């Protein structure tokens, strides 16, 4: 009995002790953690799901996820709050978005309860990998839904795996933190009107790799897309939505059916309106006609958080937003602070946006 109690004590200590990582200098990279959550859909029903240790997915060579990209994913983060609590940010919206994506790709919906259970269990089981408060890092959570089993013809898979993997990460862009990034308008399109740009299909992303490569050759961090019909209206960056501060306390963001409805962007727009009294607008934004009215620009998303944009490349030249060169402007700084304070429990969460993971 004493041995058993000792073992339990060791296990508890191991669970809460932090891994030996350089938390302040993590990049946005995959780190293998101890557990992942997996549930299987077969014969029209989901299994309960369980924690597993192997990071390898054994997949049939005929799987529709491989041939026809019948696959989608989500992204959210767990953060350590000042008081030690572990907080998720609006995870139900990720569950809802995955359900919308699944329906669009003819995949079975992962019920909200299963989605949230998978996220909670994966975070709880990997608590030693959750970056400490103040490190600027977080535990990135990547839920995946993939069509497995074999299929030759173009039809939906008969079985699916819902998996939740996690990895400690630092800033998404190499410049890090609130350093200015740059974007280059792409000649290529990311998504068509009435296509899949508004859902989180994995298939939306490889088409952007080439555009990103071209953007990087110009010295930009990432590609920026205009609408594919006219190449005139701003859409979004490869992995983030766009927000723009204008004179008269205005914050605008592109309205388009071809962009991902970012949870971060929706939250920032609400914060701007409610906490800063800004006038917010979601509308078509004609880049060339309006660029001179852009006072501050930022890319935003779970991975990108809020990344101020210093300059945009289009029509063969750079358009700079900051005369002072390297410093983030006051509006984006304030929005970033308010968002981060909320996400890591430093500010009253009167809208109940954060959800604690009970350890
Ligand atoms: N746009 C794209 C294409 C993305 O991949 C992401 C990331 O999920 C976002 C925007 C930001 O969305 P969210 O704030 O929900 O993470
Ligand atoms: C996220 O921000 O969670 C994303 O999924 C973007 C991804 C391309 C890193």
Residue nearest ligand 2's atom 6 by CA: 239
What pLDDT is attached to residue 142?
98
| Residue having the nearest C-alpha atom to atom 7 of ligand 2 | 239
- Alpha carbon separation from 60 to 67, 149, 160, 353 (Å, rounded): 11, 6, 12, 39
Give the nearest ligand 1 atom to 267 CA: 14
Is any ligand 1 atom within 6 A of the Cβ of residue 260? yes
* C-alpha pair distances (Å), 174 with each of 91, 178, 205: 26, 11, 19
Half-sphere exposure of 330 (CA within 13 A, CB side): 4
Please confirm, yes or no, whether 11 is among the known catalytic residues: no
Distance CA 245, CA 237 (A): 17
DSSP labels, 238-260: TTBEEEEEETTTEEEEE--TTS-
Predicted pLDDT of residue 9: 47
Q: What is the reported pLDDT for 6? A: 52
What totals of helices (H) and strands (E) does the chain contain, helices first? 8, 18
Say what the pLDDT of residue 324 is. 63
Nearest Cα residue to atom 3 of ligand 1 = 239
For the chain, percent helix, then strand, then coil, each to nearest 5? Answer: 30, 30, 45
pLDDT for the residue 251: 98
Q: Specify the residue with its C-alpha closest to ligand 1, atom 1.
A: 240
Cα–Cα–Cα angle for 244, 245, 247, rounded to 5 degrees? 140
Residues of the chain with pLDDT under 50: 1, 5, 8-10, 12-13
Check residue 271 and give its pLDDT.
98
Spell out the alpha helix ranges (H) of 137-262. 206-217
Question: What is the separation of C-alpha 11 from the centre of its chain, rounded to a whole number of angstroms?
Answer: 32
User: What is d(CA 64, CA 97) in angstroms, rounded to the nearest whole number?
Assistant: 21
pLDDT per residue as tens digits for the range 265-306: 999 999 999 999 999 999 999 999 999 999 999 999 999 999
Residue 262, classified by CB atoms within 10 Å of its CB into exposed (0-12), middle (13-18) or buried (19+), is buried
Distance (Å, whole) CA 350 – CA 196: 34
What is the Cα–Cα distance from 58 to 161, expressed in whole angstroms? 11
Query: Cα-flanking dihedrals φ and ψ of residue 149, to 5°?
Result: 75, -170
Q: Which of 117, 158, 174, 200 is catalytic?
A: 200
3-state secondary structure 255-314: CCCCCCCCHHHHHHHHHHHHHHCCEEEEECCEHHHHHHHCCEEEEEECCCEEEEEEEEEE
CATH superfamily of 181-343: D-amino Acid Aminotransferase, subunit A, domain 2 (3.20.10.10)
Closest Cα partner for 158 from 45, 318, 293?
A: 45
Nearest residue to 76 via CA among 173, 208, 165: 165
For ligand 2, whether the C-beta of 239 sits within 6 Å is yes
- Count Cβ atoms within 10 A of the Cβ of residue 240 and give its class: 0-12 exposed, 13-18 middle, 19 or more buried: buried
Q: According to the model, what pLDDT value does residue 10 have?
A: 45
Could you tell which of 100, 101, 169, 241 is best to mutate to test the pocket of ligand 1, judged by most ligand atoms within 8 Å of the CB? 241
Shortest-distance atom of ligand 2 to CA 28: 9
Tell me the per-residue pLDDT of 129-187, one tens digit each, with 9 for 90 and over.
999 999 999 999 999 999 999 999 999 999 999 999 999 999 998 776 788 999 999 99
Which of 206, 329, 242, 74 has its CA nearest to residue 321?
329
- The DSSP bridge pattern shows strands 86-89 and 76-80 to be antiparallel
Nearest-angstrom CA–CA distance, 81 and 133: 6
For the domain covering 2-169, report its CATH number.
Answer: 3.30.470.10
Q: How many CB atoms lie within 10 A of CB 48?
A: 8
Check if the beta carbon of residue 303 is closer than 8 Å to that of residue 140: yes
Q: Which residues pair with 308 in a beta bridge?
A: 298
The alpha-carbon radius of gyration of the chain (Å, integer) is 21
Instruction: Kindly list the domain boundaries of the chain, sorted by start residue.
Output: 2-169, 181-343
Ligand 1 atom index nearest CA of 76: 16
């Amino acid at each position: 009995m004493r041995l058993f109690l000792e073992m339990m004590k060791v296990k508890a200590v191991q669970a809460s002790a932090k891994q030996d990582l350089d938390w302040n200098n993590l990049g946005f990279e995959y780190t293998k953690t101890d557990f992942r959550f997996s549930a299987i859909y077969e014969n029209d029903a989901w299994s309960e799901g369980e924690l597993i240790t192997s990071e390898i997915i054994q997949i049939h060579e005929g799987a529709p996820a491989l041939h026809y990209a019948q696959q989608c994913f989500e992204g959210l983060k767990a953060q350590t709050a000042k008081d030690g609590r572990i907080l998720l940010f609006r995870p139900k919206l990720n569950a809802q978005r995955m359900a919308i994506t699944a329906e669009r790709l003819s995949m079975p919906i992962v019920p909200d309860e299963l989605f949230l259970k998978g996220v909670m269990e994966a975070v709880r089981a990997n608590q030693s990998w959750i970056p400490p408060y103040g490190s600027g890092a977080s535990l990135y959570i990547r839920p995946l839904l993939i069509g497995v089993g074999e299929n030759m013809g173009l039809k939906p898979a008969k079985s699916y795996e819902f998996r939740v993997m996690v990895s400690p990460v630092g800033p998404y862009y190499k410049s890090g933190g609130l350093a200015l990034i740059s974007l280059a308008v792409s000649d290529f399109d990311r998504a068509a009107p009435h296509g899949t740009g508004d859902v989180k299909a994995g298939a939306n992303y490889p088409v952007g790799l080439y555009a990103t490569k071209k953007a990087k050759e110009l010295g930009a961090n990432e590609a920026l897309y205009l609408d594919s019909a006219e190449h005139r209206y701003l859409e979004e960056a490869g992995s983030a939505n766009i927000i723009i501060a204008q004179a008269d306390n205005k914050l605008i963001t592109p309205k388009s059916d071809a962009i991902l409805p970012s949870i971060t962007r929706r939250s920032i727009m609400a914060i701007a309106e409610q906490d800063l009294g800004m006038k917010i607008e979601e509308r078509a934004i004609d880049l060339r006609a309006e660029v001179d009215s852009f006072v501050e620009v930022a890319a935003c998303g779970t991975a990108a958080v809020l990344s101020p944009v210093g300059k945009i490349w289009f029509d063969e030249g750079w358009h700079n937003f900051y005369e002072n060169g390297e410093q983030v402007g006051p509006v984006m700084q304030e929005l970033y602070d308010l968002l981060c304070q909320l996400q890591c429990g430093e500010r009253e969460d009167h809208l109940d946006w954060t959800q604690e993971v009970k350890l």
